[in-house]
Amino acid sequence: DQQVKQNSPSLSVQEGRISILNCDYTNSMFDYFLWYKKYPAEGPTFLISISSIKDKNEDGRFTVFLNKSAKHLSLHIVPSQPGDSAVYFCAARGNNNDMRFGAGTRLTVKP
């Protein structure tokens, strides 16, 4: 029972264009959503987050949107840079502070 889903295993975009990564969840009790970035042979690193009381959060080139009625969130990266190439995980926090992760989307930004 995967409560957090990332349906696109991979995404390829041109440098300078927008990258949009999507995530869906099923548990309406999740109150906090996060995006992590992961490079090979490293642990995931925190990128940006949003609480369930907001619908948008921006941090530089990264913006996360939350649509609670659709149980959907997305990460926008603009402009995309080659250094953004990594696997991106969506995560959602439950009642006991435990985080559930999606399967990840591999983003490739081509120069």
Partner 1 sequence: NAGVTQTPKFQVLKTGQSMTLQCAQDMNHEYMSWYRQDPGMGLRLIHYSVGAGITDQGEVPNGYNVSRSTTEDFPLRLLSAAPSQTSVYFCASSRRTGFTEAFFGQGTRLTVV
Measured in whole angstroms, the distance separating CA 13 from the mean position of its chain's CA atoms is 16
Residue type, 34: L
Q: Which stretch binds partner 1 (CB under 8 A): 11-19, 65-73, 74-82, 100-108?
A: 100-108
Restricting to residues 16-75, which ones interact with partner 1 according to CB under 8 A?
32, 34, 36, 41-46, 49, 51
Query: Mask of contacts with partner 1, 76-95, x by CB under 8 A?
Result: -------------x-x----
Edge-to-edge strands of the sheet including 4-5?
4-5, 19-25, 72-77, 62-67, 56-59
Which of 11, 103 has the CB closer to partner 1?
103
Structure tokens at 27: 């548990």
- Applying CB under 8 A, which of residues 9, 29, 78, 110 lies at the interface with partner 1? 9
Q: How far apart are CA 1 and CA 109, in angstroms?
A: 32
Number of residues that bind partner 1 (CB under 8 A): 26
